[in-house]
Amino acid sequence: MFWLRWIFFSSPLWLGFGGAWLFRTVAEFQLTRESDALVHAIDGPVGYLSPFAPADGVEGEIAGLLFEPLLRRDANLNLRPNLIRAWTSRTVITIRCDSEEAAGEAEARFLAGEVPESGARPIALDRSGSVLTVAFGGHGPDLEKAVLEGLPPELLGDYLLVKVRADHSVDDLIGSWLAGSVEKAQVRMLEFTDDREAFLFVRGETDRVLKELRLYLDSNPATSPQLDLVGQRCHTTVREMLLDLKEGVTWHDGTPFTSTDVAFSYERLTRADSPLPLAASFDFVESLEMLSPTRLRILCREVPATMLESWEKLPVLPAHRLAKTDPDLDEADLWSDFLLTPLGLGPYRFDRRRADGGVELVAHAAYPGGAPAEPRLRFRRYSSLESILLALRTGTLDRIEPDERFTEWARRHPGMVETLRDRPRFQHLVVWNLERPPFDLEPVRTALARGIDLGAILRETGLEYEVPVKSLFFPGSPLVAEPILLPLYDPRGAERLLEKEGYRLEEESGLRKDGKGRPLAFSLAVNAGNPEHRRLAAALAEQWGGIGIEVKVEPVPWQELITGRLPQRDFDAVLVSWEIPRGRDRREVWHSAAAGPGGGNLSGLRDAEVDGLLDQLRSEPDPVKVTGVIASLQRAIAARQPCFFICDTGRILTVRTGALESRRPGAAAASPLAIGKGGLEEVRPWWVKKEVAAP
């Protein structure tokens, strides 16, 4: 009767387990009865919430609700004001005339409308002695030429323009030199554009004054001074942009949002140690100055047509929380605390982290776009599939991050949940190192692309879907008129290309070798912590092996990959993902100027045609012409194959059937859930629990 004794002695243990299960189930049931929030079941703990790291999944969605961009895309993906209320561009030309009388005559010609002969008209005019300052709206490329050609040469001064730059305090440097200079009388005019740049207009014995100035600067190396001869010039031109911020905007803690926050964000995120590589995006900025709490003045070295895209990319950081004022405070701890308990300007504010690894957000009442109608969002983890199903059946769970078990259950119980597809947001690709053979050969790169059957690799899970790459730009962009035509699957064609390059198939080993017996082989680095990257890499390696190419998949820790291997381009090939941009400036990814160590051009592509198209994209103001340039750029990239484009991925959102609707502030009525051109980010703040009429 051993089994009777076993039942007798083990029954207290089973009762204990049963009691614990019953207690947990009751607790779960009580929690599911909470109806004060839109509840989202997550499958893992929520980590850092960052305004600048592109994050997919739940963490990316939460970040989009907490943080607010300076500019937003409308329903047609065009840039519109947001935290920046308005922007004004001006060109200010300062003309040094030959004399006060000459300046007076030049002023009269401007006032009479004689100068310039056509085109832009001055919006402001000022004369001080022999100096005339004229301001125009906008940034016309030939404006200076039209102004100077419209004035008689005898009215203009004859000066040598000298530019002095220093790391800082250039006014003190020039002031000290003038105080002891023997030749300073030849400096007729002096102008400071900011703390680092000065213009000197010299007339007379210029050789002597330049020699004296050079000697002085060489003897004061502390600020790294530089002297440049601009040439014979009677004018200087300043291109500036005025940014006016929306008034009355507050951070989630009630602190006013001001120009100090924008200036702090710009300074912090364009530094060499920035967590986001934005310096190249703002290379047109000469200096930034705060004129008032809601106005900034930006002096521009050049005026690219994509200037506003740069401000769109700039995350806005709270200066009052992140500016280091205490020297004993560790900056790393400051940032870690911010990423764990973030502070933003978005439609929802961070409330707390839950013991189960989730987070709770509450509506930001002072959100400038109008407070969301749903007062609380709860992202929480459930202990079991059974508790998720219980919450789903009781109608208190609204969204789910499904695992395999839930997906299988949903397949057996149709109608309980429905799905929406977000716009593809990330692009996955294999980047070739073009400085290493055989990737320096375009036919080999094309053969590698033709050797892959993407239909056998791409898949759909309960969380995301994968589709072939159709463009280098965001899906639905109005500037993209035609898809990128990438090489099609053609294994026989791939083999012919490889044989033409001298890589013959050796029957015994099954590998392709060149004339010296060296196998066609390479290493494919991949993020060791990304299961989907590892799956894709293994599938690619298997198919390339089918045409005689030996590929070794090399899992690399993410930190090593991002801080060591990628910046130094220490790889044969690497599988990476990047966020598909909404803007059109792609110089950081494909331009030769970004091909060096630390640059974003990971493949090292150096191509004159591609560079020219990228430069044209950055400067062309006409949208119709931009569309043509984009088409040409996509054709050029498809032909050169600096990368093998695998797929674009988008999230699959699972919601309880009939649970949610969209209710925008000021809208007359609610509308069904939908994903617009801008993707989830455009519509997510306005999702609410659907109100069910009482029977």
**pLDDT given for residue 145 in this prediction:** 87
Distance (Å, whole) CA 525 – CA 576: 9
Residue range(s) occupied by CATH 3.10.105.10 in the chain = 426-650
Which superfamily does CATH assign the domain made up of 426-650 to?
Answer: Dipeptide-binding Protein; Domain 3 (3.10.105.10)
Residue 168 near residue 222, CB atoms below 8 Å: no
**pLDDT given for residue 83 in this prediction:** 97
Residue 540 near residue 482, CB atoms below 8 Å: no
Write the Ramachandran bin of 249: left for phi over 0, alpha for psi from -120 to 50, otherwise beta.
beta
Torsion from C-alpha of 676, 679, 684, 686, nearest 10 degrees: -20
**Cα–Cα distance list, 398 to 63, 146, 163, 580, 687 (Å):** 20, 63, 64, 29, 11
Mean of the per-residue pLDDT values of the chain: 90
- In terms of Cβ atoms closer than 10 Å to its own Cβ (0-12, 13-18, 19+), residue 326 is exposed
Residue with tokens 């009442």: 365
DSSP state, residue 256: B
Q: What is the pTM of this model?
A: 0.85
**pLDDT given for residue 20 in this prediction:** 44
Q: What is the CATH number of domain 39-68+338-420+654-689?
A: 3.40.190.10
**pLDDT given for residue 203 in this prediction:** 86
Give the SS3 label for residue 252: coil
Listed in sequence order, the residues at least 6 apart from 416 whose beta carbon sits closer than 8 Å to its beta carbon are 392, 410, 656, 657
The angle that helices 385-393 and 404-412 make with each other, rounded to 10 degrees, is: 40
Q: Which of 442, 426, 445 is nearest to 536 (CA)?
A: 426
Q: Which of 278, 331, 362, 342 is nearest to 59 (CA)?
A: 342
Cα Rg for the chain, rounded, in angstroms?
31
Torsion from C-alpha of 308, 310, 311, 317, nearest 10 degrees: 170
The model's pLDDT over 144-162, given as tens digits with 9 standing for 90+, comes to 889 989 999 999 988 889 9
**pLDDT given for residue 692 in this prediction:** 59
Question: Which amino acid makes up residue 247?
Answer: E
Residue range(s) occupied by CATH 3.40.190.10 in the chain = 39-68+338-420+654-689
Listed in sequence order, the residues at least 6 apart from 261 whose beta carbon sits closer than 8 Å to its beta carbon are 316, 317, 318, 319, 320
Positions in the chain whose pLDDT score sits under 50: 1-9, 12-33, 694-695
**pLDDT given for residue 325 in this prediction:** 75
**pLDDT given for residue 358 in this prediction:** 97
**pLDDT given for residue 609 in this prediction:** 97
Distance (Å, whole) CA 454 – CA 457: 5
Q: Which of 50, 685, 679 is nearest to 322 (CA)?
A: 50
